[in-house]
Structure 1
Amino acid sequence: MTPAHLRTEDTIAAIATPPGPGAIGVIKISGPEAEGILRRVFRPARAREHFDSHRLYYGHIVDPQSGEPVDEVLVALMRAPRSYTREDVLEIYAHSGYRVLTRILELVFKAGARPAEPGEFTRRAFLNGRIDLAQAEAVEEIIHARSEQALRLALKHLSGGLSARIKALRERLLDLLAVTEVAVDFPEEDVEILSPEKMRRTISEEILPEIRRLLASAEEGRVFREGIAVVLAGRPNVGKSSLLNALLREERAIVTPIPGTTRDVIEETAQIAGLPVRLIDTAGLREAADEVESIGVRKAREKLAAADVVVFLVDGSQPPAEEDRRLYQEVRSRPHLVAVNKIDIAPAENLALWRDFFPEPPIFISATERLGLEELSHKIFEMAVGHGPAEPPEIAPNLRQKAALERAGEALQRALEILAQSEPLPELLSLELREALAALAEITGEVTTEDLLDRIFSTFCLGK
């Protein structure tokens, strides 16, 4: 039996808006029965024989059996191929509420549709050639974007930016493969068909550098998409909770002059220089006074081990102590920044001592007075991304695409090894070029498997 997601002759339907009360709820229908369903469940305010494509119509959804109105709606029929899926698509704009939307959806199912699977609308857009696989993944990236930069990056991918770069790489490789295949088919020709040196330069100076550039941007893109974990660490009462509140611009953590006020881990999300950041306020690092504090200190050390960036905080109103040096040894192996807090009440001689206390110059801040926070934010961004605050990269492959690029690069390295031989075998060279081409084709979906498509589209929401 053919799985439901492969039966593109079916008509599918789903609620396309988030659950819960709201002004408008949307039900999306795609497939050959879209117009038939419209005629069965929709009663226009003015009777009509024909529905124009891409035009809104006002009326009511009614139960075809009883004739009872269910909701006052607007509908739009978008005929193929000028639709999201390149199939006939019907959208019903109803009042948003769980009961009314599910009631309309029940009528749509009875009228000839089946429930859509997660991501099935976008999957059909891919299968019908409207978008490629990289663009399909960009749809999900747009939905889950956690920052303005992540959204811009996803939009560039949706517009075909990554696909165009991959296409250009494939065209260069296809040119090389064509020459190689001629050398395989006509080995007895007197004319030299294969020019190893020219091919080597093309691979090493043009194709591989472009693959490396794409790979280099992948990690930066991951940071913009997923964000980073920033742990605030230090002795008790150095101002970690005050810094958390300052970066969040709200009173999230309790702040008192009593050391050890924070006993558990507090996590909140924020944006720092446009980067999604999970801020983690931890218990002060010291010998615990009781079992509860001991658990908090243990959790703090666990968070330190998993942090992308550690902000090691010290109290500038006090001179450096041996305890600060000991605790610093715990964090120095992690990507870290040192911040000297409370500079608004710190004696100048203390600040001078702190300036020379660490291997690298610290950042001087006051969490309560919001001094130095912009510099700290920029330093966090720079440590996470590798450069100061800026626009995200033009193109940044995701993890799946990065793995495919790595396979392509490995195949091309093997091709270079073959070309370095005194008499390169075109048969072996052809195999490696084909391997690189197949890896690149996986990125855009020109070569793919049903298992891969299932894995990608299963992460989408219903209605998309």
Structure 2
Amino acid sequence: MHEDTIAAIATPVGEGGIGIVRISGPQAKDIGKELFRFHRPVQNPQSHKLYYGHVIGEGGEVLDEALLAFMHSPRTYTTEDVVEINCHGGIMPLKKTLERTLQLGARLAEAGEFTQRAFLNGRIDLAQAEAVIQIIRARTETAMQLSVAQLQGRLSQKVGEIRQQLLSVLAHMEASIDFPEHQDVEDVAFVQLREAAELAHKEIDLLLQTADKGRILREGLRTAIVGRPNVGKSSLLNALLKEQRAIVTDIPGTTRDVLEESVNLGGIALTMVDTAGIRETTDTVEKMGVERSREALGQADLVLYVLDASDDLTAEDIELLQAAGEKPLIVIVNKTDLVSSPADVTTKLHSELASVPVVPMSVVENRGLQELEEAIVSLVFQGDVKPSQSAMVTSARHKDALSRSLTFLQDMLSALESGFAIDLLAIDLHSALDALGEITGETVGADLADEIFSAFCIGK
């Protein structure tokens, strides 16, 4: 399958200045020469150089004016011969150019197949391949920095170092198993095993400590704006988005459904979920909105609970605040412009809500947004939103693999203290190594690799 030649449109569908058709595989150069007419005769096109000319159809007709680049193996994205045709960025020029490449013997690439070939051909490992799609989907500069660091191999290098330490110990263990008559070999293996396992355990634990922060910095926070009707939830959403996205009226119950929008707040991507006001109601439509609001509350990573500064805290408010459970929670006291002493309201709420952060705001007067941003950064990241300069875990898959590796090492250390035979200890060590290898792809199964690359866009 990976010995044939693939082609795909590598740029988004739609109108634009430039669109690119990418070809990779053993026939790429021949297909490129066949479909392209050079403006000036070229006998042997140089690698990584743009040539001006025209894309030619099956009957010799001109399909588009274009620039073409030949990139010779192995200095390419896939390490195979690659040709990229820079057409005009419209649906028809790209469609006709792609059709011509398929006529000449290429097949349509599957989702993520170019990056998959880069992985299979050894140019990048699996963690770096995953970073490619993370870069494409990054919504903040911070998320971009994290993904670029992973593409450069920061996480892979750290995991590789831990894995190499354990592999060295495994070699001594297997020597001890193969030569049981040499007691000194086994004694050395036990000592080295304990030292290496404890060090690896510590380093994996440090990586896992970065996982929650890394995931949030890359994926963002699903943030539910909840509260009783007419406290200013939709107004808060509009203020954060800096546009009138949600309908706002003085009539309680205006919002009937869940509304989602993304906002970059202090370097954090927040998926803001504006919910219907939660209250007891007999209105069928509003009741459905209230149910969806409760579901959004349950699915949220962060809860912004909005109160009206001119109204007292009610039993219903207490119930909803308790429903947030252990989730990060910030109470927003809106409409402070309607009270004579906002500080007194905030002080009273601090005493009633104990350790919950309370932020006074007036959305109408555009006051309190900076304080809200600071409260979110302080609550979620303890005030430091910048990514670590060392390796960080940003993927649930990587976190799971590290967690399993840590568990196997813990089991092995416990077994070591209990005096288990060295061949039994080797089983746990093999399992720990396999789990670490899943991150970089050294021990990953074909099904999992296919699943990862299927999430990519076609042409990447």
Cα separation, 1, equivalents of 2:423 and 2:99: 59
Q: Are the structure 2 counterparts of residues 121 and 351 from structure 1 closer, same or farther at C-alpha, using a change threshold of 3 Å?
A: closer
1:56 to 41, 50, 62: 50
Cα separation, 1, equivalents of 2:81 and 2:268: 40
Structure 1 length normalisation: TM-score? 0.92
Is 1:369 aligned with 2:365? yes
**Alignment-mate amino acid for residue 411 of structure 1:** F
**Alignment-mate amino acid for residue 408 of structure 2:** A
Unaligned runs of 5+ in 1: 1-6
Tell me what 1:144 maps to: 137
8 Å CA contact 1:378, 1:389 repeated in 2: no
Q: Are the structure 2 counterparts of residues 285 and 448 from structure 1 closer, same or farther at C-alpha, using a change threshold of 3 Å?
A: closer
Tell me what 2:73 maps to: 80
Question: Where do 1:162-311 residues align within 5 Å?
Answer: 162-191=155-184, 193-195=186-188, 196-204=190-198, 206-288=199-281, 290-311=283-304
Equivalent pairs, count: 454
Is 1:10 aligned with 2:7? no
Tell me what 1:4 maps to: none
Is 1:455 aligned with 2:448? no
Cα drift, residue 263 of structure 1: 2.7
Cα separation, 2, equivalents of 1:327 and 1:162: 40
Cα drift, residue 62 of structure 1: 0.8
- Partner SS state of residue 270, structure 1: strand
Cα separation, 2, equivalents of 1:82 and 1:218: 34
Cα drift, residue 298 of structure 1: 2.2
Cα drift, residue 226 of structure 1: 2.1
Is 1:419 aligned with 2:416? yes
- Partner SS state of residue 352, structure 2: coil
Cα separation, 2, equivalents of 1:261 and 1:449: 51
Cα separation, 1, equivalents of 2:185 and 2:238: 71
Q: Which stretch shows the higher mean deviation, 84-93 or 104-113?
A: 104-113
Q: Are the structure 2 counterparts of residues 309 and 82 from structure 1 closer, same or farther at C-alpha, using a change threshold of 3 Å?
A: same
Cα separation, 1, equivalents of 2:81 and 2:266: 43
Q: Are the structure 2 counterparts of residues 30 and 230 from structure 1 closer, same or farther at C-alpha, using a change threshold of 3 Å?
A: same
Q: Are the structure 2 counterparts of residues 325 and 177 from structure 1 closer, same or farther at C-alpha, using a change threshold of 3 Å?
A: closer
Is 1:387 aligned with 2:363? no
Q: Which stretch shows the higher mean deviation, 187-196 or 233-242?
A: 187-196
- Partner SS state of residue 210, structure 2: helix
8 Å CA contact 2:166, 2:196 repeated in 1: no
Structure 2 length normalisation: TM-score? 0.93
8 Å CA contact 1:319, 1:350 repeated in 2: no
1:38 to 27, 32, 35: 32
Q: Are the structure 2 counterparts of residues 155 and 191 from structure 1 closer, same or farther at C-alpha, using a change threshold of 3 Å?
A: same
Cα separation, 2, equivalents of 1:440 and 1:324: 46
Cα separation, 2, equivalents of 1:43 and 1:458: 35
What is the alpha-carbon root mean square deviation over aligned residues? 1.9
Unaligned runs of 5+ in 2: none
Cα separation, 2, equivalents of 1:355 and 1:217: 31
1:66 to 34, 40, 59: 59
Cα separation, 1, equivalents of 2:265 and 2:417: 49
8 Å CA contact 1:238, 1:314 repeated in 2: yes
Cα drift, residue 197 of structure 1: 4.5
Q: Could you give the per-residue CA deviations for residues 243-301 of structure 1, whole angstroms, max 9, x where no partner exists?
A: 11111111112222332222322221112221111112222222225223222222222
Cα separation, 1, equivalents of 2:145 and 2:374: 20
Cα separation, 2, equivalents of 1:418 and 1:68: 74
Cα separation, 2, equivalents of 1:336 and 1:217: 21
Q: Are the structure 2 counterparts of residues 352 and 335 from structure 1 closer, same or farther at C-alpha, using a change threshold of 3 Å?
A: closer
